[in-house]
Amino acid sequence: MWTEVNSMFGAIAVICMGICITFTLFLDVMIAFLCVICMGMVIMSNMLIGYQIKHNHLDILMDPCPASQEVCILFDFGGNVDFIKVKKGPLGKREFMKYHKEASIINTGDYQLRFINGNRGFVGHESYDKNVNLYKTEALDKLPGEDVKEIFVNMPKVVRDMQDDRV
């Protein structure tokens, strides 16, 4: 929404500059030429910013989601972070498209996030079929296991051992 507002104001500014250029053509061609270059720079900068926002899925952080959607902060195997709009389904199932394929994740409801723009969200991992609770995964480096599923299976045992060490 905000990118569209920015584009609208940019278009109004370019129209106003075009009107000014028609008057300056009678006075000085060089000033008119510089104004045309300035208009092109304004248009190109807005196009580049809009492209980067859409390409990197940052519009999710600016525009509010409808009530039927949530935002998932998805970590992939390479450690990359992606913001994805997911559709709410029955029993906490959240459906989305990743790599042009349908995917789903279950949001159990623990560790919910709220973004600055009011969107609700949760954290997910590509190899785990449920949302990730960051409170529980604070010490993932010390837990045994090769992937996220094994770490979550081993977590209760390690937490019990840590509590026994404190006593």
Cα gap 55→49, rounded to integer Å? 10
**Is residue 93 within 8 Å of 104, Cβ to Cβ?**
yes
- Which amino acid is residue 47, in one-letter code? M
What is the H or E stretch that residue 19 is in?
helix 2-27
- pTM metric for this prediction: 0.60
* Percent above pLDDT 70 for the chain: 83
Q: Across all residues in the chain, what is the average pLDDT?
A: 79
151 or 17: which leads in pLDDT: 17
Q: What is the pLDDT of residue 145?
A: 67
Answer for the pair 118, 124: CB distance below 8 angstroms, yes or no: no
**CA 25/CA 30 separation, integer angstroms:** 8
